[in-house]
């Protein structure tokens, strides 16, 4: 009997992105391209957040990553930040506020 191999979070995320992009056929070249784009998008979003992101739980980050991959598939990554500037700003500001020590966010004297 074959052992069931657990998929990693990255493998599941890649499958979800491929599904979102309607890539339902097996093509290793396209899969590698989308995986590379996914890693670029993950890096950019984690840079904005200032830490690791759990894309299974953080829906705003997940939505942005899926959109980044859609733009990447169309060879338009440079347009992504322009088109999603308000969402990226919200994401970064929300992360900055969430990362502040408790009490500092309400202390206006430090602004």
Please report whether residue 20 resides in a domain. Answer: yes
Please report whether residue 3 resides in a domain. Answer: no
> 2 falls in which pLDDT band (50, 70, 90)?
low
Please report whether residue 50 resides in a domain. Answer: yes
**Ranges of H-type helices in 21-84:** 28-49, 59-73, 77-83
pLDDT for 24: 86
Tell me 25's DSSP state: S
Interatomic CA distance for residues 41 and 35, integer angstroms? 10
> 73 falls in which pLDDT band (50, 70, 90)?
very high
Query: Considering its fold, how many domains does the chain have in total?
Result: 1
Please report whether residue 60 resides in a domain. Answer: yes
Please report whether residue 103 resides in a domain. Answer: no
């Amino acid at each position: 009997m074959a052992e069931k191999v657990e998929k990693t979070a990255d493998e599941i995320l890649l499958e979800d992105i491929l599904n979102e992009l309607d890539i339902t056929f097996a093509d290793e070249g396209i899969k590698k391209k989308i995986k590379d784009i996914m890693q670029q998008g993950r890096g950019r979003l984690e840079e904005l957040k200032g830490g690791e992101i759990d894309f299974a739980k953080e829906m705003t980050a997940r939505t942005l990553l899926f959109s980044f991959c859609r733009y990447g598939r169309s060879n338009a990554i440079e347009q992504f930040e322009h088109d999603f500037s308000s969402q990226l700003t919200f994401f970064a500001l929300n992360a900055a506020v969430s990362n502040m020590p408790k009490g500092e966010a309400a202390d206006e004297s430090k602004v």
